[in-house]
């Protein structure tokens, strides 16, 4: 494969994220000039998980870049559900906080479903509230989860049509797999959702025109599992001492894929940029 062909197949997540951030920065300026409003995001982290801390830090850096005001709330791992709900309640009522992001995962004694429901649906930057999820299911997309939204944005950006395509999603989480499936169905794709209990995964992946992998299993997808020309989004992250790895065996799969997101530098930065877009939406743009 020529170098040109190799690089043209790699989706540049950082570049696209910058483009989305530019749009958000303009929106923030407009909102400030027209209504005197500065969008505000409150992030909540319960406990000190290093990976979660890093993700929250990256979200704050993105806020800084686009002009969103960010508040950082850190609760100890032992905080009770009542402590968390009381904080969420005060942020729900704070008119300077337009969006709330509760970093997942939560400690085992706190129900993520109850926590997501506690955040008022209009401040739900993650799109995890049952009201927003329900709207997504009936084809009325408003605040939707950031990673699936980012995937759709990439497809639009690269002029990949979705209608009638065979889409295979690996992973059926509430954060990625399920909302992703709904977004593709809303665009008239034929969608298969596979997961850890799926028998003969390869049978599904070989039929995929578009493949979204969010399993968290290093190099789960090998070159012999995909067809020529497939478009692949690698949402998986496995951290090891010597690096960060995706769910796709990148160096071999790139020879067959027409487009593929790298790890790192693919879906990750786009997800954060979409979060910035959602904060702006919450603030009224």
Contact positions vs ligand GUN (CB under 6 A): 101-104, 126, 146-147, 175
CB of 116 to ligand GUN, least distance (A): 9
Q: Which of 220, 200, 158 is nearest to 11 (CA)?
A: 158
Catalytic residue (one of 59, 123, 277, 285): 59
Determine the length of the chain: 285
Nearer to ligand GUN, 168 or 175 (CB): 175
CB of 126 to ligand GUN, least distance (A): 5
- First vs last Cα of the chain: how many Å apart? 44
Question: Which residue number places its CB atom closest to ligand GUN?
Answer: 104
Catalytic residue (one of 123, 124, 126, 209): 126
For 39, other C-beta atoms within 10 Å of its C-beta total: 27
Whether 103 is catalytic is yes
Nearer to ligand GUN, 42 or 104 (CB): 104
Instruction: Tell me whether the omega of the peptide bond preceding residue 105 falls within 30 degrees of 0, making it cis.
Output: yes
| Residues forming beta bridges with residue 40, ordered by sequence position | 69
Nearer to ligand GUN, 31 or 46 (CB): 46
Burial annotation 231-246 (CB, 10 A radius, 16+ → b, else e): bbbbbbbbeeeeeebb
Catalytic residue (one of 103, 123, 135, 247): 103
Burial annotation 158-193 (CB, 10 A radius, 16+ → b, else e): eeeebeebbbbbbbbbebbbbbbbbbbbbbebebbb
Q: Tokens 């923030």 label which residue? A: 28
Compute the distance between CA of residue 22 and CA of residue 245 in angstroms, rounded to an integer: 28
Whether 203 is catalytic is no
Compute the distance between CA of residue 162 and CA of residue 33 in angstroms, rounded to an integer: 38
CB of 249 to ligand GUN, least distance (A): 23
CB of 240 to ligand GUN, least distance (A): 19
CB of 170 to ligand GUN, least distance (A): 16
Q: Which residues, in sequence order, are CB contacts of 31 under 8 Å at separation 6+?
A: 37, 38, 39, 280, 283, 284, 285
Q: How many CA atoms lie within 13 A of 138 on its CB side?
A: 6
Whether 126 is catalytic is yes
Nearer to ligand GUN, 162 or 270 (CB): 270
Nearer to ligand GUN, 29 or 51 (CB): 51
Active site residues: 59, 103, 126
């Amino acid at each position: 494969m020529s170098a040109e062909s190799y690089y043209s197949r790699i989706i540049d997540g950082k570049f696209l994220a910058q483009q989305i951030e530019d749009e958000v920065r303009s929106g923030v300026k407009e909102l400030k000039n027209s209504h005197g409003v500065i969008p505000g995001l409150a992030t909540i982290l319960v406990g000190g998980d290093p990976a979660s801390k890093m993700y929250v830090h990256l979200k704050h850096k993105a806020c800084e870049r686009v002009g969103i005001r960010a508040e950082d709330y850190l609760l100890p791992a032992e905080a009770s559900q009542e402590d968390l709900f009381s904080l969420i309640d005060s942020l729900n009522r704070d008119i300077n906080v337009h969006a709330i992001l509760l970093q997942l995962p939560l400690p085992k004694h706190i129900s993520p479903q109850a926590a997501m429901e506690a955040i008022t649906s209009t401040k739900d930057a993650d799109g995890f509230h049952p009201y927003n999820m329900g709207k997504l299911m009936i084809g009325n997309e408003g605040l939707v989860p950031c990673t699936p939204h980012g995937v759709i944005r990439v497809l639009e950006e690269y002029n990949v049509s979705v209608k009638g395509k065979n889409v295979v999603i690996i992973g059926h989480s509430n954060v990625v797999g399920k909302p992703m499936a709904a977004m593709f169905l809303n665009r008239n794709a034929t969608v298969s959702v596979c997961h850890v209990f799926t028998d003969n995964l390869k049978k599904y992946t070989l039929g995929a025109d578009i493949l979204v992998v969010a399993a968290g299993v290093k190099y789960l997808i090998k070159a012999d599992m995909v067809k020529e020309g497939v478009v692949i989004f690698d949402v998986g992250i496995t951290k090891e001492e010597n690096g960060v790895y995706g769910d796709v065996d990148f160096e071999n799969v790139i020879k067959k894929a027409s487009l593929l997101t790298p790890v790192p530098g693919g879906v990750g930065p786009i997800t954060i940029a979409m979060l910035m877009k959602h904060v702006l939406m919450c603030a009224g743009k």
